[in-house]
């Protein structure tokens, strides 16, 4: 970890779930020169605005945690926005970072950009080996382009300009700052909302789609932020030891998964709901298992600290305090 706590760090998307956790992590470590802009202050799809920002602020490092994200429904309804916004945001930020002398940048990919039928657990070399999940293909194509853009800048400008742009691939994240929208949220925030409402309304049961047997992996967002800062500060030779010039991303997972049934029980416990949990097995289950291999990150010396039970309590506290 660099001791220079004064270096100027731009966290793009600092009001989002991941960006705000990265800011918390950096501040806790004593970094005191963090620069941010809200979406209203700077639309990252606006090339001229991003150019002016980088020319004015000249940051030393960039965490690119701004993106248009959403669940299946949003991805299906707004595919043009998902591909356009994400390509524009990342192109503008990565290219202007380069033009303005930024040597260190961290790009955030996602486990959902691996092929739909990738072998489990998904390892880094599964990227671009098969067809993508159709519902989020535009988003995934943009994210893959972002990883390849970082790699290409490293390959062309690494030697000449000292460019060292890295990518991390988070599994499903949850925690403070999550999106709890009733129709358009990921599984953990959706369950937190439903169990919370069931508790308030004394509902005798909560019905969950599917059999409850599919397995999924979840990582607490502050662990994700810690992993991001860890990967950003690895010595180049150490990072290079677990990556390749054209396969430069590192998976960030929890390392184990749970069934949806186990998850539901854990959310019920965290929210204090004491009624019944019923699984509607006439509804579809999705893939039987999705999790990532975090072997490379573990070898580099990082493991998560927050288990699901503890993370859900924190997530619920943040939700209930909203």
Ligand X SMILES: NC(=O)c1ccc[n+]([C@@H]2O[C@H](COP(=O)([O-])OP(=O)(O)OC[C@H]3O[C@@H](n4cnc5c(N)ncnc54)[C@H](OP(=O)(O)O)[C@@H]3O)[C@@H](O)[C@H]2O)c1
User: For binding to ligand X (CB under 6 A), which residues are involved?
Assistant: 13, 15-19, 39, 43-45, 65-69, 85, 89, 108, 110, 170, 172-173, 186
Nearer to ligand X, 26 or 198 (CB): 26
Q: State the Cα–Cα distance between residues 192 and 184, nearest whole angstrom.
A: 13
* 316 has catalytic annotation: no
Length of the chain: 322
Q: State the Cα–Cα distance between residues 40 and 44, nearest whole angstrom.
A: 10
As measured in angstroms, the least distance from the Cβ of 27 to ligand X is 17
As measured in angstroms, the least distance from the Cβ of 203 to ligand X is 27
- Among candidate residues 114, 139, 153, 316, the one labeled active-site is 139
Nearer to ligand X, 19 or 121 (CB): 19
Residue 315 token pair: 């997530």
Nearer to ligand X, 24 or 161 (CB): 24
- Structural contact between residues 318 and 177, judged by C-beta atoms closer than 8 angstroms: yes
Kindly report the number of other CB atoms within 10 A of residue 196's CB atom.
19
Q: Which position's Cβ is nearest ligand X? A: 16
Q: State the Cα–Cα distance between residues 87 and 45, nearest whole angstrom.
A: 8
As measured in angstroms, the least distance from the Cβ of 32 to ligand X is 22
Kindly report the number of other CB atoms within 10 A of residue 103's CB atom.
16
> Partners of 12 in the beta sheet?
64
Nearer to ligand X, 69 or 227 (CB): 69
Q: State the Cα–Cα distance between residues 178 and 314, nearest whole angstrom.
A: 12
As measured in angstroms, the least distance from the Cβ of 205 to ligand X is 28
Listed in sequence order, the residues at least 6 apart from 230 whose beta carbon sits closer than 8 Å to its beta carbon are 300, 301, 302
User: Catalytic site residues?
Assistant: 139
């Amino acid at each position: 970890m660099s001791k220079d706590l004064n270096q100027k760090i731009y966290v793009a998307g600092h009001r989002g779930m991941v960006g705000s956790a990265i800011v918390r992590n950096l501040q806790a470590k004593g970094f005191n020169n963090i620069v941010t802009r809200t979406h209203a202050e700077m639309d990252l799809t606006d090339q001229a605005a991003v150019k002016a920002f980088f020319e004015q602020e000249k940051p030393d490092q960039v965490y690119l945690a701004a993106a248009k994200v959403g669940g299946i429904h949003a991805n299906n309804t707004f595919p043009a926005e998902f591909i356009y916004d994400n390509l524009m945001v990342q192109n503008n930020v990565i290219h202007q970072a380069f033009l303005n002398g930024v040597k260190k940048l961290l790009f955030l990919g996602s486990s959902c950009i691996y092929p739909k039928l990738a072998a489990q657990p998904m390892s880094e070399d599964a990227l671009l080996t098969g067809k993508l999940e159709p519902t989020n293909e535009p988003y995934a194509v943009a994210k893959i382009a972002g990883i390849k853009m970082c790699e290409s800048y490293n390959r062309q400008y690494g030697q000449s300009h000292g460019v060292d742009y890295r990518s991390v691939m988070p599994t499903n994240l949850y925690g403070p700052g999550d999106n709890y929208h009733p129709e358009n949220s990921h599984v953990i925030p959706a369950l937190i909302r439903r169990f919370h409402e069931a508790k308030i309304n004394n509902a005798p049961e909560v019905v969950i789609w599917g059999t409850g047997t599919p397995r999924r992996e979840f990582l607490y967002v502050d662990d994700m932020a810690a992993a991001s800062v860890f990967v950003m500060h690895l010595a180049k030779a150490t990072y290079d030891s677990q990556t390749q010039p054209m396969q430069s991303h590192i998976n960030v997972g929890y390392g184990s998964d749970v069934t949806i049934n186990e998850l539901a029980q854990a959310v019920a416990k965290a929210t204090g709901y004491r009624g019944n949990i019923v699984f509607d097995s006439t509804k579809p289950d999705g893939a039987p298992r999705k999790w990532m291999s975090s072997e490379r990150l573990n070898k580099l010396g990082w493991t998560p600290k927050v288990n699901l039970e503890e993370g859900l309590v924190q997530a619920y506290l943040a939700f209930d305090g909203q």
